[in-house]
Structure 1
């Protein structure tokens, strides 16, 4: 095991050395910078090249596709961590479960949720993607689309009753969208889950359609306007973090 760990450490030092040279570097220079004997460096460089972490071009080594995927995965994890940290902050300030969602490639995608045992999130008992007309998250995202994109969504996911309070048909849904103001919160009461009220605010980050939402038990409905106002002010203060993370 110590030998294996040592080999991994040496390979990582070589990867770091290669990564510090945008145009690549020859084996002798990499061995010197990594503090490795040249034969050891040659062996590891061949292995890393075979596995796709490096490429050899015109006598120098550059990072390969596998190294790029490894770095991309780390960046993706960092972005997800930033989102979850932000959601936890919003949850504590607002005193309610907080959701972050985007509309990506024609579908509603809940990127992150932050709740606690004392403030549980709304259970996804019916597919969020197919029931966008019934919850504040979906209504807020769909309300930011143009008519063509919205019609395409409903062609694939028709309006249907989820609870007795859900919008019944497409005509009523379009009337609701017509009354919406793009920058204002969207609220719904028991349309997705009985005994639950929700609100969502639109998030503007370039061309990305996104939303932040909260949910409360029905008996706390009176808290919803205050909670939404707090959420809007907090999101405005941390929008740069969310904008960086939205592409996750």
Structure 2
């Protein structure tokens, strides 16, 4: 839908609609794009794109690269961090319910570029529990949240992410072979959840599901020591995680 049609349909201001259309197009192109490609992606005349990008650059939301391509600017980081904190607050009741029911630490994570960032957590009440600092970024290939998020992406995009980050071994259990990892993603797609069996940290097991239809690629998980995260607990956790993920998605839809 063209920006003018979208603004008319929503009763919005056309220039604002177009500015966000530009930012979203840049994000979808991995954060860097030429003016001509932006014009094509946004279905707008090149002079219009030039004016929008120049204004966004002056405001710090876009920056020009030495290659003369344009990239998302540093001011968006502050907005993203504030949005992530708010997202974690909204998710907290759903995470707390999981902790009350299952007894293990519950987490909310999202795809941030090529990595996964934790944006919300409610810790277990056990004295020995898992703790991940909110804001921490991790590789996607060795975490349950990362794997379930990658499983929702096109294979070509997954390959590009892994090409950029590599597949470093965090433990002896980390999957580092691309073909084996592709098979793992196929299994995740079939069963609807992902597990991390000591692949990020020895002695820790995690199970995660994706949040359906959210504003970003997000996943909910529970994690704990392998002595408590038995196959029986994982089987019990999966439908509860799916229920929590659907409830969070509904909450976010109502707030948007």
Same fold (TM over 0.5): yes
**Alignment partner of 1:101 out of 103, 109, 115:** 109
Q: What does residue 240 of structure 1 align with?
A: 250
Q: What does residue 227 of structure 2 align with?
A: 219
**Alignment partner of 1:88 out of 86, 93, 96:** 96
Runs of 4+ in 1 over 4 A off after TM superposition: 72-79, 242-245
CA-based RMSD of the aligned residues comes to 3.0
Q: Structure 1, unaligned stretches of length 5 or more? A: 1-71
Q: What does residue 140 of structure 2 align with?
A: 132
Give the distance between the partners of 1:238 and 1:73, measured in 2 at CA.
19
Give the distance between the partners of 1:162 and 1:100, measured in 2 at CA.
21
Cα separation, partners in 2 of 1:234 and 1:216, compared to 1, 3 Å: same
**Alignment partner of 2:174 out of 161, 166, 180:** 166
- Aligned partners of 1:79 and 1:244 also within 8 Å: no
Cα separation, partners in 2 of 1:187 and 1:146, compared to 1, 3 Å: same
Deviation at 1:123, TM superposition (A): 4.4
Give the distance between the partners of 1:102 and 1:73, measured in 2 at CA.
12
- SS of 1:204's equivalent in the other structure is coil
**Alignment partner of 1:115 out of 118, 123, 126:** 123
- Aligned partners of 2:152 and 2:189 also within 8 Å: no
The CA deviation string for residues 141-197 of structure 1, in whole angstroms up to 9 with x for no partner, is 111111222122112211121111111322211221233316701112111111111
Give the distance between the partners of 2:84 and 2:168, measured in 1 at CA.
35
Q: What does residue 191 of structure 1 align with?
A: 199
- Aligned partners of 1:103 and 1:141 also within 8 Å: yes
Which has more radius of gyration? 1
The CA deviation string for residues 201-246 of structure 1, in whole angstroms up to 9 with x for no partner, is 011125632111111211121322112222223333443124567x
**Alignment partner of 1:231 out of 226, 230, 241:** 241
What TM-score, normalized to structure 1? 0.59
Is 1:142–2:150 an aligned residue pair? yes
| Structure with more contact order per residue of length (Cα contacts < 8 Å, sep ≥ 6) | 1
Cα separation, partners in 2 of 1:152 and 1:243, compared to 1, 3 Å: farther
Cα separation, partners in 2 of 1:128 and 1:242, compared to 1, 3 Å: same
- SS of 2:212's equivalent in the other structure is strand
- Aligned partners of 2:171 and 2:198 also within 8 Å: yes
What TM-score, normalized to structure 2? 0.58
Give the distance between the partners of 1:167 and 1:76, measured in 2 at CA.
29
